[in-house]
Amino acid sequence: MTTLASIRDLTVTYRRDSNEVAALRSVSLDIANGERLAIIGESGSGKSTLALAIAGLLPGSSRIGGRIDWFLPSSPPSGAKAPPSVLPDISPSRGEIGSSPAGPLSASLAMGESGDKGVISPLEGEMSGRTEGGLVRREVRKSSLKQSYIPRLGRDIGFVFQDPSASLDPVMTIGKQIAEVARTHLGLTWSQSYARAKSLIERVRLPDPDSALRAFPHQLSGGQKQRVAIAAAIAAGPKLLIADEATSALDTIVQAEIVALIRRLVTEDGMTLLFISHDIALAAELAERIAVFRHGQLVELGMTAQIVGAPAQHYTRALLDAHIGLDTRPLLDRAGLHA
Amino acid sequence: MSPLRRFLRTPEAVTGAMLLAALIAMALSASLLFPGDPQAIAGPALLPPFQDWSLPLGTDRLGRDVLAELFHGARTSLAVGLAAAAAALVVGAVVGTLAGFAGGLVDEVLMRITDAFQTVPSFLLALAFVSVVGPSLGVVVIAIALGTWTGPARVARAEVLSIRERDYVAGARVIGMHPLAIAFREVLPNALPPVLAMSSVIVAAAILTEAALSFLGLGDPNRVTWGGMIAEGRAVLRTAPFLSIVPGIALVLTVLGVYLAGEGIVETTAVRRGLS
Amino acid sequence: MSLLAVSNLTKCYRRGDKTIAAVDDVSFHIDPGETLALAGPSGSGKSTIARLVLRLIEPDDGRIDFEGSDFLALSGAALRARRARLQMVFQDPLAAFNPRATVARVLDDPLRVHGIASRAERPRRIAALLERVGLIADLAPRAIHEISGGQRQRVAIARAIATKPSLIVLDEAASALDVSVRGEILKLLLDLQRQEKIAYLFISHDLGVIRSVAHRVILLDAGRIAENGDAQTVIDAPQSAIGKALVAAAPRLNRTLMRLASAGLD
């Protein structure tokens, strides 16, 4: 299995008033091409910071150290028409983009706080309606490698946030929000983009695709909005899909539907999935590998069967024990009621 | 970083604070530096500035010391500006909170009253009030507040409408707290920041309105006011323009200072709230 | 006799020119010291029922009897006095407290409003409440936003028990907490129920948690009761369509583990 991204000694600190809070401490992790990797942890574990750091969405006040090496297929110049192989629902050979004849291009990005040149990361082409992040200024020190590459959000990475109402533009139609991503990143015309938006709406199984194209976010339910957010995230055929607590605000039934949708889309398009969640049971159902985070550090990383069945770390064991499932012995002592 | 340090790092805020500090120093030291009646005759009439160092800014048509008048005028401007703005903010916040929290008929009645006040130009309202009741410092303060409380009332009501849907207001009801206690203990303090953010604009407007009233001869006749000084100088605008220019500059700097300092405070506290 | 008896409760909302029944002819009862859970998908009306029972909103139709008297007939001071017996814990403890409050003030409010303790006696009572929910008394002067989420929910529970209620409505009270904290909070709630004979109306979307702590469960679908019965019996073998869908959608660790194990053997 090839590696998509190699994270080494990633450290992120946030400045709050005059104190520095470490959100991630020297995290090293490889993301394999085409895998479904879950990042789980409780609040303050740094799991969302990791997702934002990978996507280049960290706020300007944060300090980032370490390096992320990307092994992405060569990216077309901005604005150029994409080769058919990256249009997931056209190409029969999708899923093998990483091993295309041109060979994966080793790209590296080293981030250091000593960076002398302020470079604005190329996020201007990001998909519409992103309320978190916006234009993020990162201090980037050019690496000594020949090819330096910062993955582009929307084009290389699709990001699905927890709250679809906050990540969708309330005054733009669903169709335009999805089409805009395709247009920006794939260099399509508006009519091509709308056609693509329609096929994406069909793929995420929104009822009545034609009227959904013209609908506004407030006309949809929470689960439908999250489907739209997913369609927009994958509109430009990204290699990596990051879902940051994407199902946490939804009820159980809708959550199961969205998880099934993500699983299907990831498999069909050969995408790599980074699934950020606080719910170990949910993560286990979806992911092939699980990384457990606590206090900004990677506690344990392993195959799902090993993490769930034979955890090596005490903390992982504690998380599993704290899970209250449908077959857990009840806490309630029923004899106590009428005593 | 503390809000104070952030405030001190904002150049506009520091400029505003320095101008305000100078104004307050003038107002406080007026009776120390110029103990006598500022309206008493101090020298020859229409003495230009920088001629006689005992009368640095010269004298007016009646031979009164312009510098002494300027210092004593600062008192009036500051007192009227702050008192009128405080009255407008208190009345506005209370009316807005009651309207927003009570809803229904109370809201309708209070907001129609607010509408009525807002449809009359505030300066005209002040003018009419002073000419009916008669000019005195208190009346001028009330006259200005009459025209300015509606802005804070609307902002407070809008804020209260959003706050009253919050869980902690429901929580206070579940506890059994009296509705008025909820309105003034739980809701009003949290609705205040955007209302207070208007205070710099209101103080600046109040100072200008007071000057305008005095200019038209509707200020307190027993007090020196900058507006009155400008009006005095108008008669000799060609021969002695400094009589109008000096208090005019004082007025501009004061309004600028109040505005910049107010904006600085809003900005630095907004940053703090944004972080938490 | 039931502690709380709700009959034919109905609440409609107008949306455009359509009227949607958020709660449609719902009847149930809760006995003293019992936990009744309300479950269902979002929009099923479970939170609306909670707010109706607490009289934070008024029903269009129906009757609520609490401690043997008509709860909907109360108003003004009589209603506020009776509220001491019927308390609530919210999902998000940060939103449930005034952002300016301290722990002491949050706990002082119910004691003051209901005249439970004199001003001089209140600090001691506050310390006792904090200790009752497993917190140290030194926490009292801290601001609400300074303490952790788990501590905050304990403070919310302390506030709810300050007036010695017979019924507490728990609206997703454990849902926003980290799993490690959630277990402790649930244990605390069960412990309080055992000792003080408090009844709970437990609103949750999590069937696992409901099965763990509730005596009985009502499954709601679109404002109506779909299924009603003993919590373990209903969740282990749901009969209604919504019950089956909710159970099927709940993630299950053991099922996953078995699937992975059988895949590993192949």
3-state secondary structure chain A: CCEEEEEEEEEEEEEECCEEEEEEEEEEEEEECCCEEEEECCCCCCHHHHHHHHHCCCCCCEEEEEEEEEEECCCCCCCCCCCHHHCCCCCCCCCCHHHCCCCCEEEEEEECCCCCCEEECCCCCCCCCCCCCCCCEEECECCCCCCECCCCECCCEEEECCCHHHHCCCCCCHHHHHHHHHHHHHCCCHHHHHHHHHHHHHHCCCCCHHHHHHCCHHHCCHHHHHHHHHHHHCCCCCCEEEEECCCCCCCHHHHHHHHHHHHHHHHHHCCEEEEEECCHHHHHHHCCEEEEEECCEEEEEEEHHHHHHCCCCHHHHHHHHHCCCCCCCCCCCHHHCCC
Contacts of A251 (CB under 8 A, 6+ apart): C41, C42, C205
Rounded Cα–Cα distance for residues B187 and B159 (Å): 9
Asked if residue C10 has pLDDT above 50, the reply is yes
pLDDT band at A116 (very low <50, low <70, confident <90, very high): very low
Residue C95 has its nearest CB partner, among B166, B176, B177, at B166
Asked if residue A142 has pLDDT above 80, the reply is no
**Residue in chain B nearest C76 by alpha carbon:** B178
Asked if residue C25 has pLDDT above 90, the reply is yes
Whether C56 sits inside 8 A of B186 (CB atoms) is: no
- Tell whether B233 is covered by a domain: yes
Chain B CB contacts of C81 under 8 Å are 176
pLDDT at position B271 is 52
Lowest pLDDT segment from A86-95, A295-304, B183-192, C214-223 = A86-95
Contacts of A168 (CB under 8 A, 6+ apart): A129, A174, A177, A217, A225, A228, A229, A232
Measured over all CA atoms, what is the biggest interatomic distance in chain C, rounded to whole angstroms?
72
B32 part of contact set with chain A, CB < 8 Å: no
pLDDT at position A77 is 43
Measured over all CA atoms, what is the biggest interatomic distance in chain B, rounded to whole angstroms?
75
- Tell whether B68 is covered by a domain: yes
**Residue in chain B nearest C106 by alpha carbon:** B172
Residue A255 has its nearest CB partner, among C214, C249, C254, at C249
- Tell whether C126 is covered by a domain: no
Give the count of domains, chain B. 1
Give contacts of A 18-77 with B, CB under 8 A: 18
pLDDT band at A86 (very low <50, low <70, confident <90, very high): very low
Residue A252 has its nearest CB partner, among C205, C236, C253, at C205
pLDDT at position A333 is 77
ipTM over 0.85: yes
- Mean pLDDT, chain C, whole residue set: 93
pLDDT band at B166 (very low <50, low <70, confident <90, very high): very high
Between CA B201 and CA B211, with CA B206 as vertex, the angle to 5 degrees is 130
Rounded Cα–Cα distance for residues B93 and B98 (Å): 9
Whether B275 sits inside 8 A of A17 (CB atoms) is: yes
Asked if residue A118 has pLDDT above 80, the reply is no
Full domain range(s) for residue C70? 4-94+165-265
Is the Cβ–Cβ distance between A92 and A28 less than 8 Å? no
pLDDT band at C69 (very low <50, low <70, confident <90, very high): very high
Whether A322 sits inside 8 A of C34 (CB atoms) is: no
Phi, psi (deg, nearest 5) at residue A240: -120, 130
Asked if residue A287 has pLDDT above 90, the reply is yes
Rounded Cα–Cα distance for residues B239 and B233 (Å): 10
- Tell whether B125 is covered by a domain: yes
- Tell whether B56 is covered by a domain: no
Query: Which of B143 and A83 is assigned the larger pLDDT?
Result: B143
Over the stretch B57-109, which tens digit does the pLDDT of each residue have?
888 888 888 899 999 999 988 899 999 999 999 999 999 999 999 989 999 99
pLDDT at position C247 is 95
pLDDT at position B219 is 85
| Closest chain C C-alpha to B264 CA, distance in angstroms | 23
pLDDT at position A112 is 43
pLDDT at position C168 is 97
pLDDT band at B237 (very low <50, low <70, confident <90, very high): confident
Crossing angle for the helix pair B242-275 and B66-102, nearest 10 degrees? 40
Beta bridge partners of A289: A37, A303
Q: In the predicted model, what is the mean pLDDT of residues A282-296? A: 95
Collapsing DSSP states into helix, strand and coil, what is residue C251? coil
Query: Which residue of B268, B269, B272, B275 is the best one to mutate when testing the A interface, meaning the one whose CB has the most A CBs within 10 A?
Result: B275
Rounded Cα–Cα distance for residues B187 and B205 (Å): 28
Domain holding C74: CATH number? 3.40.50.300
pLDDT at position A17 is 65
B1 part of contact set with chain A, CB < 8 Å: yes
Whether A18 sits inside 8 A of B275 (CB atoms) is: no
Q: What is the DSSP string of C135-194?
A: --GGGTTSBGGGS-HHHHHHHHHHHHHTT--SEEEEESTTTTS-HHHHHHHHHHHHHHHH
Asked if residue A231 has pLDDT above 90, the reply is yes
Beta bridge partners of B59: B65
pLDDT at position C80 is 95
Q: In the predicted model, what is the mean pLDDT of residues C185-211? A: 95
pLDDT band at A82 (very low <50, low <70, confident <90, very high): very low
Domain holding B154: CATH number? 1.10.3720.10
Whether C113 sits inside 8 A of B173 (CB atoms) is: no
Rounded Cα–Cα distance for residues C155 and C96 (Å): 11
Residue B171 has its nearest CB partner, among C81, C84, C96, at C96
Residue B174 has its nearest CB partner, among C88, C99, C145, at C88
Rounded Cα–Cα distance for residues B242 and B48 (Å): 8
Asked if residue A107 has pLDDT above 70, the reply is no
- CA B75 remoteness from chain centre: 12
- Tell whether C33 is covered by a domain: yes
**Residue in chain B nearest A16 by alpha carbon:** B275
Chain A CB contacts of C247 under 8 Å are 326
In chain C, what is the straight-line distance between the N-terminal and C-terminal CA atoms, in Å? Answer: 59
Over the stretch A191-229, which tens digit does the pLDDT of each residue have?
999 999 999 999 999 988 999 999 999 999 889 999 999
- Tell whether B227 is covered by a domain: yes
Type of residue found at B172: A
- The length of chain A in residues reads 339
Over the stretch B15-24, which tens digit does the pLDDT of each residue have?
999 999 999 9
Q: In the predicted model, what is the mean pLDDT of residues B229-255? A: 90
Rounded Cα–Cα distance for residues A145 and B251 (Å): 63
Residue C83 has its nearest CB partner, among B166, B167, B176, at B176
Whether B276 sits inside 8 A of C145 (CB atoms) is: yes
Q: What is the DSSP string of B182-223?
A: IIIIIIHHHHHHHHHTTHHHHHHHHHHHHHHHHHTT-S-TTS
Give contacts of C 40-59 with A, CB under 8 A: 41-42
Tokens (6 digits) for A292: 């457990």
The pTM for the full model equals 0.82
Which of the other chains make 3 or more beta carbon contacts under 8 angstroms with chain C?
A, B
Rounded Cα–Cα distance for residues A51 and A132 (Å): 13
| Closest chain B C-alpha to C148 CA, distance in angstroms | 14
pLDDT at position A106 is 45
**Residue in chain B nearest C51 by alpha carbon:** B170
Whether B1 sits inside 8 A of A17 (CB atoms) is: yes
pLDDT band at A121 (very low <50, low <70, confident <90, very high): very low
Rounded Cα–Cα distance for residues B249 and B246 (Å): 5
Chain C CB contacts of A330 under 8 Å are 211-213, 232
SS3 content of chain C, % helix, strand, coil (to 5): 45, 25, 30
Whether C56 sits inside 8 A of B166 (CB atoms) is: no
Is the Cβ–Cβ distance between A212 and A177 less than 8 Å? no
Percent residues over pLDDT 90 in chain A: 53
| Closest chain A C-alpha to C236 CA, distance in angstroms | 8
Q: In the predicted model, what is the mean pLDDT of residues B131-151? A: 92
pLDDT band at A74 (very low <50, low <70, confident <90, very high): low
- Tell whether C23 is covered by a domain: yes
Asked if residue B234 has pLDDT above 60, the reply is yes
Q: In the predicted model, what is the mean pLDDT of residues C45-67? A: 95
- The length of chain B in residues reads 276
Chain B CB contacts of C54 under 8 Å are 170, 174
Whether C113 sits inside 8 A of B175 (CB atoms) is: yes
Asked if residue A108 has pLDDT above 80, the reply is no
Q: In the predicted model, what is the mean pLDDT of residues A87-94? A: 35
Asked if residue B193 has pLDDT above 60, the reply is yes
Whether C83 sits inside 8 A of B175 (CB atoms) is: yes
Whether A319 sits inside 8 A of C180 (CB atoms) is: yes
Q: In the predicted model, what is the mean pLDDT of residues C163-190? A: 93
**Residue in chain B nearest A19 by alpha carbon:** B1
Rounded Cα–Cα distance for residues A278 and A292 (Å): 10
Tokens (6 digits) for A44: 């303050």
Type of residue found at A230: I
Chain A CB contacts of B1 under 8 Å are 17-18
Q: Chain B to chain C, count of Cβ pairs less than 8 Å apart?
A: 58
Whether A279 sits inside 8 A of C260 (CB atoms) is: no
Is the Cβ–Cβ distance between A234 and A204 less than 8 Å? no
Residue B173 has its nearest CB partner, among C56, C92, C159, at C56
Phi, psi (deg, nearest 5) at residue C83: -60, -20
In which order are the strands placed within the sheet that holds A3-16? A19-32, A3-16, A62-72, A105-111
Residue C113 has its nearest CB partner, among B168, B177, B189, at B177
Tokens (6 digits) for B236: 């000799």
Type of residue found at A322: A
- Tell whether C116 is covered by a domain: no
B132 part of contact set with chain C, CB < 8 Å: no
Contacts of A276 (CB under 8 A, 6+ apart): A38, A39, A40, A47, A48, A50, A51, A242, A243, A244, A245
- CA A330 remoteness from chain centre: 35
- Tell whether B140 is covered by a domain: yes
- Tell whether B200 is covered by a domain: yes
| Closest chain B C-alpha to A7 CA, distance in angstroms | 29
pLDDT at position B115 is 94
A329 part of contact set with chain B, CB < 8 Å: no
A22 part of contact set with chain C, CB < 8 Å: no
Query: Which of A83 and C207 is assigned the larger pLDDT?
Result: C207
In this structure, what DSSP letter does residue C83 have? G
| Closest chain B C-alpha to C233 CA, distance in angstroms | 33
Instruction: State the Cα torsion A215-C46-C94-A60 to the nearest 10°.
Output: -20
Chain A CB contacts of B275 under 8 Å are 16-17
- Tell whether C29 is covered by a domain: yes
Measured over all CA atoms, what is the biggest interatomic distance in chain A, rounded to whole angstroms?
76
Residue burial B219-255, b: 16+ Cβ < 10 Å; e: rest: bbeebbbbbbbbbbbeebeeebebbbebbbebbeebb
- Mean pLDDT, chain B, whole residue set: 88
Rounded Cα–Cα distance for residues A243 and A47 (Å): 11
Asked if residue A87 has pLDDT above 50, the reply is no
- Mean pLDDT, chain A, whole residue set: 79
The dihedral region occupied by C6, where left means phi > 0, alpha psi between -120 and 50, and beta the remainder, is beta
- Tell whether B151 is covered by a domain: yes
A320 part of contact set with chain C, CB < 8 Å: yes
Over the stretch C244-257, which tens digit does the pLDDT of each residue have?
999 999 998 888 88
Domains and CATH numbers, chain A: 3-336 (3.40.50.300)
Percent residues over pLDDT 70 in chain A: 75
Chain A CB contacts of C172 under 8 Å are none
- Tell whether C99 is covered by a domain: no
Whether B173 sits inside 8 A of C97 (CB atoms) is: no
pLDDT band at A122 (very low <50, low <70, confident <90, very high): very low
pLDDT band at C195 (very low <50, low <70, confident <90, very high): very high
- Tell whether C179 is covered by a domain: yes
Q: Chain A to chain B, count of Cβ pairs less than 8 Å apart?
A: 5
Give the count of domains, chain C. 1
Phi, psi (deg, nearest 5) at residue B155: -65, -45
C187 part of contact set with chain A, CB < 8 Å: yes
Q: In the predicted model, what is the mean pLDDT of residues A294-304? A: 95
Lowest pLDDT segment from A13-22, B108-117, B143-152, C79-88 = A13-22
Rounded Cα–Cα distance for residues C223 and C42 (Å): 10
C251 part of contact set with chain A, CB < 8 Å: yes
Query: Which of A142 and C151 is assigned the larger pLDDT?
Result: C151
Query: Which of C100 and C11 is assigned the larger pLDDT?
Result: C11
- Tell whether C85 is covered by a domain: yes
Give contacts of A 212-241 with C, CB under 8 A: 222
